[in-house]
Structures are given as structure tokens and as C-alpha cells.
Amino acid sequence: MTEKNTSGRGQRDLRVRVKTAKGRKLSSTLWLERQLNDPYVQRAKREGYRGRAAYKILELDDKYGFLKPGARVVDLGCAPGGWCQVAVVRVNALSQNPKKPVGTVLGVDLQEIEAISGAELHQLDFLSEGADELVKGWLGGKADVVMSDMAAAASGHKGTDHLRIIALIEAALEFAFDVLEDGGTFVAKVLAGGAEIEMQTLLKKSFRKVANVKPPASRSDSSEKFVVAQGFRGRAGQAAEPEED
């Protein structure tokens, strides 16, 4: 229901506006203003998540259901930890429901991450030699889910940035091939741009179902989307063509 405006002064502008401070770039001011007015940022603060990105994995899991109780999850490039926070609850890593299987959440990142209750966090370069064996050792076996919200450092050139993030997701996919259990799920952020055709082909050969989706929490002006590949059947899987969304 919309309330009638009885003041005669027009509808009030409820947006927070930020003045450009001396020495601060306009782009920084616009970013700050967007953050202050972003409903997902505000909601994350209320609900205790470390960033708005938590709602992206929540929405993806609501639709595709890969974070199941008892699942073993690896979060690549997990800082600041919002995805791990979601996974801990969804896979029952804290035994919130003793009637459900207890899952495991393992986060790795180049930088040190503040502790998250229910998650095991490691400072590790997943590209380093032997990283896959380390992860499987920490998990006590293979992973049911490998997920990544990583993005390469921006250069300011759209084409270059697209190629960088594709290279990063391809590296994450190679890592997933080494640690995923049969039937497992790979979830990762990509950027729309066309250079990912080869990667998409590889995904379709290696998973039974591949979906490319932009969750509601992803900003409309962002070129990001997410790939959700389910039903891992091996790096060289040659089964029938997967279903697509």
C-alpha cells in the first residue's frame, strides 16, 4: 500500500547522498553512495554477513540445491567469508540439526581470513603445487562442492578484465577436476563477454547439467553471472549432452 503525500512538497528523496571530499575521487564517492543505498549491503549488516555477496550464493542454492546437509564444501578465494557463512548453515557444519548429517566447509584464500564458526579456513594459493592434495587431506576425502566468487584485479580495460577472470575460473575448474567427488557441483563467477566458449564446452562435457544465471543479488549494471555445473562425471566425461537453463 502506498501512502498519500499530504505535505504538498513532493515525495521525499530517501537516498543517502555523499559529497565528494577533498582528495577523494568522484568514482570513490559514487561507490560509497551506492554502498550506502544498496538494500543487500544494509541487509547483510542486519543479518551478520560479511558482505552482500552472501545473498548470491543463498539465491543460487535456493534454486539449485547443492549445499546439502553433510556436504563437503571448498570455497576458493573465500575472503571476506560471506559464502562460507552461508555454507556452514546449509550443510549443517555446526550440527544445528542433530538429525541431519554434519557437513564440512573449507575456505582457502591468499590472505588471512578472520575466523568463521563452523568453517576451517586456510591461507593458501590454490594454484600452488600440491594444493589439491592438501585440500583433500584437510577434508578427509574429495569435495561435494567447489565454489568460487573470485575476481581478478581490475585493469580498467573491459576486454583485459574479461580474459583475466576467464583464466581464473579455468584454473578453479582445473582444481575442481582434481578434488570433486563424482556427482559433485562447481559454482563460479564469470563475466559475460564471449571468451568463455571453450570453458563452457569443457563444462558441458564434464558435468551432467550446466546453468548460467544472474541471481537477483547481482547488481543489474554488473556484467557478472554465475555458472552452476552439477553432476560431475570426470574431466573427460563423454555422456549425452547436459540439460541447460
Q: Is 109 part of any known ligand binding site?
A: yes
User: Which residues, 6 or more positions from 27, have their beta carbon under 8 angstroms from its beta carbon?
Assistant: none
Distance in angstroms (rounded) separating the CA atoms of residues 80 and 31: 19
Distance in angstroms (rounded) separating the CA atoms of residues 146 and 181: 10
Q: Is 182 part of any known ligand binding site?
A: no
Distance in angstroms (rounded) separating the CA atoms of residues 158 and 175: 26
For the question of residue 189 being annotated catalytic, the response is yes
Distance in angstroms (rounded) separating the CA atoms of residues 199 and 177: 13
Catalytic residue (one of 189, 209, 214, 225): 189
User: Which residues, 6 or more positions from 197, have their beta carbon under 8 angstroms from its beta carbon?
Assistant: none
Q: Is 245 part of any known ligand binding site?
A: no
Backbone φ, ψ for residue 189 (5° rounding): -85, 135
Q: Is 194 part of any known ligand binding site?
A: no
Q: Is 138 part of any known ligand binding site?
A: no
Helix, strand, coil content of the chain in percent (nearest 5): 35, 20, 45
Task: Note the Cα 240 to chain centre separation in Å.
Answer: 28
Task: Supply the residues annotated as catalytic.
Answer: 189
Residue list for the binding site? 81, 83, 109, 125, 149
Residue list for the binding site for S-adenosyl-L-methionine? 81, 83, 109, 125, 149
